[in-house]
Chains A and B, each alone.
Chain A
C-alpha cells in the first residue's frame, strides 16, 4: 500500500542554519503531497502542498519540490528560526480514493538561539 518515510529526528539546528528534512513516498497512483507542522500542544497545520510532478510548494520560507523520478518531497528552509521548532509531518493523499492522508512518522525540529 501507499506509504511515507521521513528522516528520523530529532534534528537540532542553530538559528539561521539551513534545514532539510527528507521525505520519500511509495504510491500506486498519482498522489498529492503535503507537509504538515505540529507546534507544541497544538494540532496539525498545513504548511505547504504540491499536486503534481515538479510542482514546488512554498510557505513561510519553507519549500518542497515534488520529484516523481526520485519519489521524494524534501522540506527545505534557508534560515530557520527558534519559532520553527515543531514536529513536521510529510503526507500523501491519493485523490482517486477518499482522500485519506497517509503520514510519515514525523521529524522533530529543535532550533536553538
Chain B
C-alpha cells in the first residue's frame, strides 16, 4: 500500500542552524502539506502546496520557513535559523486531487526536531 515517508525520523540541531526535513508523498498525489505538533499539544497546520507553489500558509509559517518540491518526488521543509520553540514533531501529508466532497490526507510518520 502506498505511503508517505519522511526522513530523518529524528533531527537534533543547534539553535540558529538550518535544517531541511524531507518527505516523499504518495506518487499520484498533487496536494502536499506540512503540520507540526509541539509535545503534548494539538497538531497545527503550517503550509499547503499545489502546482509548485504555496496555496495557503499559517501564521506560524514565517520567513524562516520555506518549502520546495525540487525533483517531482520529494517535498521539503526548510527552517533557516532554528529557534528553541521550533522543537516539535513535523508531519508531512499528501492528498489526491479535489473533485470529490472531501479531502483525505495521508500522513507520514513524522520527523522529531529537537533544537538545543
List chain A positions with a Cβ less than 8 A from chain B: 32, 34, 36, 42-46, 49, 51-52, 89, 91, 93, 95, 97-106
Contacts and interface: CB of A to CB of B under 8 A. Distances in A.
Contacts of A89: 42-43
A97 to B, nearest CB: 7
Contacts of A95: 98, 101-103
Interface on chain B toward A: helix, strand, loop, or mixed SS? strand
Nearest to A91: B43
Interface of B: 31, 33, 35, 41-45, 48, 50, 55-56, 91, 93, 95, 98, 100-110
B33 A100 contact: yes
B45 A100 contact: yes
Contact of A103 (B43, B56, B95): B43
Given A42-B109, A44-B91, A101-B35, A32 B42 contact: no
A106 B45 CA distance: 15
